[in-house]
Amino acid sequence: MTKVETRLPAPTVPRRFPLRQKYLPVTATAVLISLMYGLGVINYPGFSDTQIVLNIFIDNAFLLVVAVGMTFVILTGGIDLSVGAVVALTTMVVALLLENGWPAAVVLPVALLMGATIGLGMGLMIHYFEVQPFIATLAGMFLARGLCYAISTTSIGIDDPFWVRVANAQLWVGGWFITISVLVALVVVLIAAYVLAYTTFGRDVYAVGGNPQSAMLMGLRVGRTRIAVYTISGLCSGLGGVLLSFYMLSGYGLHASGMELDAIAAVVIGGTLLTGGSGYLLGTVLGVLVLGLIQTIITFQGDLSSWWTKIFIGLFLFVFIVLQRAVTRRRR
Amino acid sequence: MAVALARRQMERWRGSREPRGSDGMSNLVRHRLFWPVAMLLLLLVGNLAFTPGFFAIELRDGHLFGALIDILRQGAPLMLVALGMTLVIATGGIDLSVGAVVAISGALACQQISQLGDQGAVGGVLVAVALALLLCAGLGLWNGFLVGVVGIQPIIATLILMIAGRGVAQLITGGQIINVNSPPYKAIATGFLLAVPVPVIIAAALVAVVALVTRRSAFGMLLESVGGNAGASRLAGIRSRQLIIIAYVACAVCAGVAGLMVSSTVSSADGNNAGLLIELDAILAVVIGGTSLLGGRFSIAGTVVGALLIKTLDTTIYTIGIPPEVTLLFKAVVVVVLCLVQAPAFRARFARRRPTAEVSA
């Protein structure tokens, strides 16, 4: 048998696009985003300003970080409903500690550690006691929101000089600026993308999501991986909470309500399957961009009442998901 | 890891080899509804310790009154939402939009009634109620279409309606809270029939209907087969697409009835806050009742117990005087404890410590 004959037979339908099947959902999302952006540019004056795109990142840096953590969890086939509550709890704890005069250098690690610990707790519960992720993290959500209200039922302002300075800092590049939060979020995205694509742990995450039994029989450390992803998600929520506290300069139990759904939506719009094992971090970034773009378009439209806004967000989401579905189906 | 797997397998074999019926108590404990029911009883008894007359039920003016009746009455909407959710979860799906459907149903009914010349007219109220439920069925059809026909992941498909639905509800009410003054409508939540509160009767009737349809016909089994493996079921000749749509329609109608109760209780419709977060409580009730979120297995009785448990928990929080700031904490602790005692792995851990449960490896 010659080398040539051992190659796979050519697909019967000639491929017009040299695109691998596994990148299809992400590519579809990217194409649709471009279309949406184009629509915005055509319809609204001033939409083409690069700062508009940067503003999407500025307004959604915390969501991006949280969605990165959620991506890890969803890739293993789990789900984390506690993220919004943990974000709120972090803003609350940060505000409380700063109010009591703790130095920023101590508050930051404490906030991150708290998020990771909550995630670790849920991971242990899910792995060792086989509690369904949805329920374990729902309990985590009740716990974190409950702690928020136990700390205070009102909003606590932050006037720590370090916090205020970071919050107001603008990094100018050319004629445009971003905030430190955006920088942090991008670093988190890069690290996470590297970990998922090029490390053993990253492969473990995909393997566990693809088929836990096979992963276990292959000798992969399923338990460790599963616990680790919830810890990572908790850590990301903690960091997201810190970024939100920069953005809001306050801690409040009602901050980030419903954020878990935004994060899940971003991950899924980015082409990651909720059943686990398939998806890319780039998709999650695009998913966050979609949500941000929808918000921006609605802001530019400007004359919508609050209920029409909700209906339009739903409609946009619907059109987007159906188009994405149609695109990926046709080219299968 | 392989050892853990082997151990688990061993435990499964051991469980199946144990003589059944010889030890009534152990079988009772192993029943999957044992722990939720035990927890429910524990909460009720705990309430008795704080409020001596907690179990008292009295007949006043031909109506039943008492704390237990209140739990049943206030728990009826949650029970209905959880009932519909059970069917959807049995197919391996999930419906996040029920809270929005609760709001829409109440909004449309109240909007229709508020435009009646005579708000007390039974016919007009019936038409309004029918319209509201019809709309809910349409919304369920929409969810079912997205999941079953278009093939969108259920959590996202229903998220669309969850977000847009609140907007629709506010659109119907014009962004305001609609107050109605209609005795027939008010009777849905506060009336009595043969001394029993009307919502309890409605909930019981719907539970009975769903239980009959799912367990006395093949419908329940077909739902479970779709939830177990949709592709295999379709190849076996089961119309999984239709079954999925039916499940979502049933869920939305149940949520619609619950929405009528919620808005009837206060004789008004609030598009923003009616049924807020009820989807989470409903999912929790379903899971506490032993239904797996992965689909393929469901228990109507479990859902009823789960819903009652959650409502009793809410009542307990009020009666024993837990400050409102920490109610969520209390709830979290109870949910964690309940999940842990229910988890087979947790019980196995305790059982292994006891010499009677040793395994000859």
Instruction: Reply yes or no on whether the pLDDT at A4 is more than 60.
Output: no
Dihedral pair phi/psi, residue B360, rounded to 5°:
-80, 105
> What's the pLDDT tens digit per position in A104-161?
899 999 999 999 999 999 999 999 888 888 888 988 998 999 899 888 888 888 888 8
> What's the pLDDT tens digit per position in A31-43?
888 888 898 888 8
* 3 state DSSP class of B290: coil
pLDDT at B156: 82
Please report which confidence band the pLDDT of residue A28 belongs to, taking 50, 70 and 90 as the band edges: confident
Burial A21-37 (b: 16+ CB within 10 A, else e): eeebbbbbbbebbeebb
Strand segments, DSSP code E, in B162-319 are 178-179, 192-193, 196-197, 268-269
Instruction: Reply yes or no on whether the pLDDT at A1 is more than 60.
Output: no
pLDDT at A3: 46
Q: B1 vs A219: CB contact, 8 Å cut-off?
A: yes
Q: Which domains does chain A have, with CATH numbers?
A: 51-324 (1.10.3470)
B219 by Cβ neighbours in 10 Å (0-12 / 13-18 / 19+) ranks as middle
Q: B159 vs A313: CB contact, 8 Å cut-off?
A: no
pLDDT at B259: 92
Q: Which two structure tokens, joined as six digits, stand for B232?
A: 């295999």
Residue among B107, B3, B10, B64 at smallest CA distance from B348: B10
List Cβ neighbours of A241 (8 Å cut-off, separation of 6 or more).
A62, A86, A87, A88, A89, A90, A91, A94, A111, A115, A256
Which residues of chain B from 9 to 28 reach within 8 Å of chain A, CB to CB? none
Q: Could you tell me the pTM of the whole model?
A: 0.81
Mean pLDDT by 10 residues, chain B (361 residues): 47 43 59 79 81 74 76 89 92 89 91 82 87 93 90 85 88 84 81 82 92 86 84 84 91 93 86 80 86 81 90 82 78 80 69 47 36
CB A71 within 8 A of CB A192: yes
Strand segments, DSSP code E, in chain A are 156-157, 171-173, 176-178, 250-251
Q: B292 vs A132: CB contact, 8 Å cut-off?
A: yes
**Residues of A with CB below 8 A from B336's CB?**
125, 139, 143
Q: Hey, what amino acid is at A49? A: D
Distance between CA atoms of residues B140 and B145, nearest Å = 8
- Which residue in chain A has the smallest CA separation from B284? A135
Q: Which two structure tokens, joined as six digits, stand for B178?
A: 């609609």
**Percent of chain B as helix, strand, coil, to the nearest 5:** 75, 5, 25
Using the structure block, give the residue that is written with the tokens 């206060």. B266
Distance between CA atoms of residues B348 and A98, nearest Å = 45
Please report which confidence band the pLDDT of residue A330 belongs to, taking 50, 70 and 90 as the band edges: low
**Residues of B with CB below 8 A from A129's CB?**
339-340, 343, 345-346
DSSP character at residue B273:
T
Q: Which two structure tokens, joined as six digits, stand for B87?
A: 């069917």
Residue among B47, B49, B86 at smallest CA distance from B70: B47
The shortest CB-CB distance from A145 to any of B168, B175, B328 is to: B328
Using the structure block, give the residue that is written with the tokens 């720590």. A160
Q: Partners of A250 in the beta sheet?
A: A157
pLDDT at A205: 94
B334 touches chain A (CB under 8 A): no
pLDDT at A117: 96
> What's the pLDDT tens digit per position in B334-348?
778 877 777 766 667
Average pLDDT over chain A reads: 86
pLDDT at B254: 94
pLDDT at A285: 94
> What's the pLDDT tens digit per position in A149-163?
888 888 888 888 888
Q: Hey, what amino acid is at B45? A: V
The shortest CB-CB distance from B284 to any of A128, A135, A145 is to: A135
CB A213 within 8 A of CB A106: no
B337 touches chain A (CB under 8 A): no
B123 conformational bin, left if phi > 0, alpha if psi -120 to 50, beta if neither: alpha
Q: What is the DSSP string of B219-276?
A: HHHHHHHHHH-HHHHHHTT--HHHHHHHHHHHHHHHHHHHHHHHHHHHTEE-TTTTTT
pLDDT at B351: 59
